[in-house]
């Protein structure tokens, strides 16, 4: 696959996508601080146990980069679709296929696993705890799906109004945060899943169009983003950690706050300032081949990394807590983290190699394309079902069979979007 890369492709986009996902995976594995003592497994969160480690989240919170890269990739894809004469429905069904296919595999696997464990006598509360921890990644996939659905419209807005369209979303996000804090309208804060991430996604459009300026200007953007972020945290009401923590009554991510936009600008300005030397570096065959390999199974790595961790922890618990008896945040614990992460990657890799090809499934050329209305309706149903499952998991739920209903909603949405038929696997 690597040797077939077109000369005009911006390899740095793929590199940042790969690195951002690996940072998310590694960060999630790092903050888990479980402790096996006296036959019990004591859950813990490194950020809550050692607040001094929260600065790490400024490095490992790279979801803004993922959305920016998505903006660039969606712009390229939309331009290509226009040249080919592909309409909105034809474009959207292809983009949704890459996102939804690996998601369905994960949810089906968890639905089956939950049923088997329930029959084996595992309590609903335990199932809920394990599945919620495993399904944390689907939060971002849900909102990214909506961002993709809206991409043709937002890209037109960008082409017509440029940075004015970016500021339109950013300002609404700022106003929503103001209502969240000043007017105590917490419910309104959830709309920032749209405003904040749509603004971040716009930065990818600016990158694609070459509107971000010279490296010096980009570093100035980065410094400004960092300054605003620091001001919001140290002078404003926002928490320090860029991810949620069990001991926090307030989170920068649930729902998203404008701190994530400031962080994204800071990170992106810095990373884009070194684009030229990085693109030259990516001419290295081995580095580019590794980048292509990771991108070929990137959604699988992202979606399955916490499930693999939960399964491994469960097996170690059944084995008498082997490897889990080290006190979290101790010197010994830190010294063993590289081994812990290496073992998890060794467990995740076979899963990614096995399921990764599903990300490259293509619809048969003669497969009918659903109408745009059906595709949008299906995507909305998928996102609704995914959001509920991310909140409650499988197992014990506030309402009887709510988890099953949410799962069915996802499947119905996929069927409505034409994403369930048998399709062939190809390489990219």
Do the beta carbons of residue 145 and residue 375 sit within 8 Å? no
Q: What is the pLDDT of residue 167?
A: 95
Do the beta carbons of residue 65 and residue 271 sit within 8 Å? yes
pLDDT in tens, 68-96: 999 999 999 999 999 999 999 999 999 99
- Angstrom CA distances, 28 to 101, 381, 385, stand at 23, 28, 23
The pTM of the whole model exceeds 0.75: yes
> Angle formed by the axes of helices 331-355 and 298-318, to 10°?
120
pLDDT in tens, 334-376: 999 999 999 999 999 999 999 988 877 776 767 788 899 999 9
pLDDT in tens, 179-226: 988 877 788 889 999 999 999 999 999 999 988 888 999 999 999 999
Query: Which helix (H) or strand (E) is 41 found in, with range?
Result: strand 40-42
Q: Which residue ranges in the chain fall short of pLDDT 50? A: 423-428
Q: What residues have CB less than 8 Å from 4, skipping those under 6 apart?
A: none
Tally of structural domains, the chain? 1
Residue 371 CB coordination number (10 Å): 12
Give residue 24's domain range. Answer: 2-425
Angle of CA points 160, 13, 356, to nearest 5°: 120
DSSP 253: B
Q: What is the pLDDT of residue 5?
A: 66
């Amino acid at each position: 696959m690597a040797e077939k890369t077109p000369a005009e492709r911006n390899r740095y986009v793929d590199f940042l996508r790969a690195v951002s996902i690996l940072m998310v995976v590694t960060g999630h594995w790092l903050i888990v601080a479980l402790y096996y003592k006296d036959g019990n497994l004591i859950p813990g969160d490194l950020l809550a146990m050692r607040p001094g480690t929260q600065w790490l989240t400024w490095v490992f919170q790279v979801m803004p980069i993922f959305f920016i890269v998505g903006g660039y990739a969606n712009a390229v894809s939309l331009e290509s679709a226009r040249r080919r004469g592909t309409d909105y429905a034809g474009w959207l069904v292809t983009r949704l296929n890459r996102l939804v296919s690996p998601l369905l595999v994960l949810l089906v696997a968890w639905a089956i696993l939950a049923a088997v464990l329930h029959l084996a006598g595992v309590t609903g509360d335990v199932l809920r705890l394990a599945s919620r921890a495993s399904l944390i990644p689907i939060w971002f996939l849900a909102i990214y799906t909506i961002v993709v659905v809206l991409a043709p419209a937002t890209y037109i807005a960008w082409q017509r109004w440029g940075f004015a369209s970016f500021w339109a979303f950013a300002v609404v996000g700022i106003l929503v945060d103001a209502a969240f804090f000043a007017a105590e309208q917490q419910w309104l804060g959830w709309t920032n899943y749209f405003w904040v991430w749509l603004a971040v996604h716009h930065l990818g459009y600016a990158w694609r169009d070459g509107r971000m300026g010279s490296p010096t200007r980009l570093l100035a953007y980065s410094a400004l983003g960092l300054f605003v972020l620091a001001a919001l945290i140290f002078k404003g009401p926002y928490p320090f950690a860029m991810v949620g923590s069990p001991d926090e009554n307030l989170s920068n991510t649930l729902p998203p706050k404008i701190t994530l936009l400031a962080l994204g600008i800071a990170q992106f300005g810095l990373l884009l300032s070194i684009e030229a030397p990085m693109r030259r570096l990516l001419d290295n065959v081995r580095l580019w081949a590794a980048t292509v390999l990771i991108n070929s199974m990137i959604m699988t790595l992202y979606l399955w990394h916490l499930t693999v961790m939960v399964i491994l922890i469960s097996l170690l618990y059944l084995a008498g807590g082997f490897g889990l008896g080290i006190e979290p945040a101790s010197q010994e614990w830190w010294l063993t983290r590289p081994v812990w992460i290496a073992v998890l990657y060794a467990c995740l890799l076979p899963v990614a190699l096995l399921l990764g090809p599903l990300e490259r499934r293509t619809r048969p050329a003669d497969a009918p394309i659903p109408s745009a209305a059906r595709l949008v309706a299906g995507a909305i149903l998928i996102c609704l079902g995914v959001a509920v499952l991310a909140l409650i998991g499988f197992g014990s739920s506030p309402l009887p069979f709510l988890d099953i209903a949410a799962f069915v909603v996802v499947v119905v949405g996929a069927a409505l979007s034409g994403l369930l038929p048998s399709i062939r696997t190809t390489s990219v």
